[in-house]
Amino acid sequence: MAKEDFYKLLGVDKNASDAEIKKSYRSKAMKHHPDRNKDNPVEAEAKFKKIKEAYEVLSDPKKRSAYDQFGHAGIDPSMGGGRSSGFGGAESFSDIFGDIFGGGRQQQRSNVQRGSDLRYNLELSLEEAVFGTDAKIRVPVLVACGVCNGSGAKKGSSPVICSTCHGHGQVRMQQGFFSVQQTCPTCRGSGKQIKDPCGSCHGQGRVQENKTLSAKIPAGVDTGDRIRLAGEGEAGEFGGPAGDLYVQVQVKEHQIFTRDGANLYCEVPISFPTACLGGELEVPTLNGKVLLKIPAETQTGKLFRLRGKGVKPVRGGPAGDLLCKVQIETPVHLTKEQKTLVEQLSESLSGGGKHHSPQESSWTDGVKSFFDKLTG
């Protein structure tokens, strides 16, 4: 008798994805499983076997390719094709749905596990972040026990196969139609038990130590950047590879500069005479002092840009700029003579009106217009 087409059995077309094939198989396998068809188990079992065989072929890339090219002859063991699979009753039901939900037939697990990654928060000054530095950091970390070499067993002994899961690392529990697989509670998934634990690490295979490391911080880093130190995390369990250490950068506030990406900002106080008549000021940068020319009649809040005096980004690109915002400083603690001079200057300037105070005049006109509209 000619076999039914596997794609038709699962109700999918020949271009169906693996996910579509698995989804259809799950639906049809549940529908035709003998345990769910008590009235006609023989017919259900026959149908179920066909569905299972179709899924085993179409879910395997090599078998599916052979089937697509040669049909059933490409997977017939008597003709040199793939191997067929029989049906084993309820056990097959458990295996099939275990495959779908992450279980499947239990296989020997490796008890070697990679260690956890660690994070270290490192505070840097602005200068250290901009120019780079070699930072010494001290990190509490789990390392492989030197007495038992990470095995967890007392010297001269070795771990044995777990008596609960028989080395699989997982145990299976039946819940209705489904078989649920979970980590073995005895060996915690390692598949082995330590009958005679190491006295130094108490069977854990790892002990805690404080490690002093040198972290090379590249120039241009900023708050939020991370530097990865490979293999400097926690040691793996049972001889597994160590995790990584991630150094998280936090740049401290600076008393003069504020950083925004590649640019730096600072406020520069200037005297009233300098603002009126102009002059030169020494302005600090991270590379030393520079002269800043202040033109006459400079207003408070004006920004002066010093190109290339900012930060060179860690990921490359040109250096940013330093932007200096001037703040005109009002004189304080005036003497009687100085106050008289200021009054004389004020009287002299008041005669010029808008000519001497364009911003004040513009603001006054705007206020007057605002109130005129309210009362108009």
* Residue that wins the pLDDT comparison between 35 and 9: 9
pLDDT in tens, 47-83: 888 888 888 888 888 888 888 877 777 676 654 444 4
Mean pLDDT along residues 99-104: 44
Decide which of 107 and 257 is more confident: 257
What is the pLDDT confidence band of residue 251, given thresholds at 50, 70 and 90?
A: very high
Please name the helix (run of DSSP H) or strand (run of DSSP E) that holds residue 342, with its range, or none.
helix 336-350
For 274-297, what is the mean pLDDT? 92
Confidence class for position 171, pLDDT limits 50, 70, 90: confident
Given the DSSP bridges, would you call strands 178-183 and 170-175 parallel, antiparallel or unpaired?
antiparallel
- pLDDT tier at 176, thresholds 50, 70, 90: low
What's the chain's average pLDDT? 82
pLDDT given at position 83: 43
pTM of the model: 0.56
Q: What is the mean pLDDT of residues 97-115?
A: 52
For residues 325 and 306, is the Cβ–Cβ distance under 8 A?
Answer: no
Full set of structural domains in the chain with CATH? 6-100 (1.10.287.110), 110-153+200-252 (2.60.260.20), 160-193 (no CATH), 258-329 (2.60.260.20), 337-364 (no CATH)
Lowest mean pLDDT among 123-127, 141-145, 237-241, 316-320: 237-241
Q: Can you give the three-state secondary structure of 218-273, one letter per residue?
A: CCCCCCCCEEEECCCCCCCECCCCCCCEEEEEEECCCCCCEEECCEEEEEEEEEHH
User: Phi/psi of residue 367, each to 5°?
Assistant: -65, -45
Percent of all residues in the chain with a pLDDT value above 70, rounded to a whole number: 83
